Amino acid sequence: MEISEKKEAEIKGSNPQSQTLVDALAASEKEAEERERQARELKAGFHPLKHKFVFWYTRRTPGVRSQTSYEDNIKKIVEFSTVEGFWVCYCHLAHPSSLPSPTDLHLFKEGIRPLWEDAANCNGGKWIIRFKKAASGRFWEDLVLALVGDQLDYGDNICGAVLSVRFNEDILSVWNRNASDHQAVMALRDAIKRQLKLPHSYVMEYKAHDASLRDNSSYRNTWLRG
**Could you state, in order of their start, the residue ranges of all structural domains in the chain?**
1-45, 48-215
Rounding to the nearest 10 degrees, give the CA dihedral for residues 210, 118, 79, 186. 40
CB-based contact 78:87 (threshold 8 Å): no
66 Cβ contact partners less than 8 Å away, ≥ 6 residues apart:
none
23, with CB counted inside 10 A (0-12, 13-18, 19+), is exposed
* Contacts within 8 Å (CB) and 24+ apart, 212-215: 212/116, 213/116, 213/117
Residue 211: the pLDDT is 93
Other beta carbons within 10 Å of 72? 10
Largest CA distance in the chain: 59
Residue type, 122: C
CA distance 196 to 91: 20
How do beta strands 48-59 and 74-82 pair? antiparallel
Residues 48-215: name the CATH superfamily. Answer: RNA Cap, Translation Initiation Factor Eif4e (3.30.760.10)
CA distance 139 to 199: 11
Q: Going residue by residue through the chain (226 aa), what tens digit of pLDDT does each one get?
A: 444 555 455 544 555 566 666 666 666 777 777 778 778 867 777 899 999 999 999 987 666 555 556 778 899 999 999 999 999 999 999 999 899 999 999 999 999 999 999 999 999 999 999 999 989 999 999 999 999 999 998 889 999 999 999 999 999 999 999 999 999 999 999 999 999 999 988 999 999 999 999 988 888 888 756 6
Residue 11: the pLDDT is 47
14 Cβ contact partners less than 8 Å away, ≥ 6 residues apart:
none
Residue 69: the pLDDT is 63
- Count Cα atoms within 13 angstroms, Cβ side, for 186: 6
Sign of CA dihedral 44, 48, 52, 55: negative
Prediction pTM value: 0.80
SS3 of 75-99: EEEEEEEEHHHHHHHHCCCCCHHHC
